[in-house]
Amino acid sequence: MTFWDLKLNQKWPFYALANKVVTCAYVEERVGKEYDSLLFFDTDILSTQDFNGLFSRAGYQIAAKPDDDLDNIRWLSNEPPDLFWQLICDGCQLNPEEVWEVTNQICEVPFKVFFNSGVIVKHGQNDFFKFWLQCFDRIMTDKRVFKIDYLHFFFLEQASFSLTVVKYFKKNQVNLLGYKYNYPVHLHKRIKMEEPPIIIHYHDEFYADKWTEDFPHFFSIPKEFETMLPFSRHRKSVVAKIRQVAQFQLYKLKYKYRLLS
C-alpha cells in the first residue's frame, strides 16, 4: 500500500467534498492506465470481509449504489428539474430528458439518477474521473451555485457524479450496487437483508454514545475497531466547529466575488 501526501484541492478549499472529485481525477491520471479497475471508498467505510466481488465487470464500466433517503435532494421522475438539478444538468451538458430513473428498497417511487458516491468502482481505460472534474468545474463556476441552499450545496459533488455517469456511460454499462456493497448503517431499520453486508457505510452512526443498543448485529465489528467506539469522543469541539463554519463562509464569499467580477 502506498500513501501520497498531497494537497490537491487548491481551487475550492471552502468545499471539502471537492477533495473526492480532484483525488479521483488525479489517481486516474497518475495510475489509471496501469490498472483495469479503480476503487474509491469514503473514509466512513468499514469492510467486514473480502470485497473482490466488486471487481466483477460483466460488461459494466462503473458501479455505484442509488442513494436512499435524501427527500430534499431527490428529483422525482414525474417532475421537471428544479434550480439545483438544472444547474447539474447544464454542468454535465445533459438535457433533463436524457436522465434515466432508478429506485431502491427504501424509496419505492422512481427518481432520477442519484448515486451515493461513498463506494465507486470504475472499470476500463477511460477518462471518466477527468470528465467528472470538468463537469464539476463548470458547475462550481456557474453563478447559480450561490443561489442554492446549504443542503444542496453540500451534495453538489454527489449530484455531479450521478449525472456525469449518465452523460459518460450508457445505462447498460452502469452496475447498480445493492446494500451488500454499500450498507447505510443509519437506515438499518428500513432495510431487509438475508445475508450480512460486505461493505458498511456507517455515516454518523458510530458517533452515537449508545450505538450498541440500536445496532444491526448480523455482522461482527473487529475488536480493534470496537475499542475506538463511540467516535463521539473524537468529535471536534464547539469552538472548532464555529471556526470551520466561519472559514467556510469566508471562502465562499471571497470566491463568489471572484466569480462575479
Can you give the CATH number for the domain in which 54 is found?
Answer: 3.90.550
Domain count, the chain: 1
Asked whether residue 166 is domain-assigned, the answer is yes
Structural domain contains residue 5: no
Beta bridge partners of 5: none
Average pLDDT over residues 82-109: 93
Q: For 127-148, write each residue's pLDDT tens digit.
A: 999 999 999 999 999 989 888 8
Res. 226 pLDDT band, cuts 50 70 90 = low
What does the pLDDT read at residue 56?
84
Q: Indicate the pairing of strand 199-201 with strand 183-184.
A: parallel
13 falls within a domain? no
Q: Residue 42 has which C-alpha cell?
A: 469514503
Per-residue pLDDT tens over the stretch 17-62:
999 999 999 999 999 999 999 999 998 888 888 999 999 888 899 9
Higher per-residue confidence, 192 vs 225: 192
Indicate whether 179 belongs to any domain: yes
C-alpha cell of 119? Answer: 463506494
Domain of 63? 18-260
Is residue 50 in some structural domain? yes
Q: What is the pLDDT of residue 16?
A: 87
**Contacts with 222 (C-beta within 8 Å, 6 or more apart), sequence order:** none
Mean pLDDT of 185-200: 84
- Residue 7, domain member (yes or no): no
What CA–CA distances, in Å, run from 8 to 42, 153, 164, 189?
Answer: 16, 20, 21, 38
pTM above 0.85, yes or no: yes
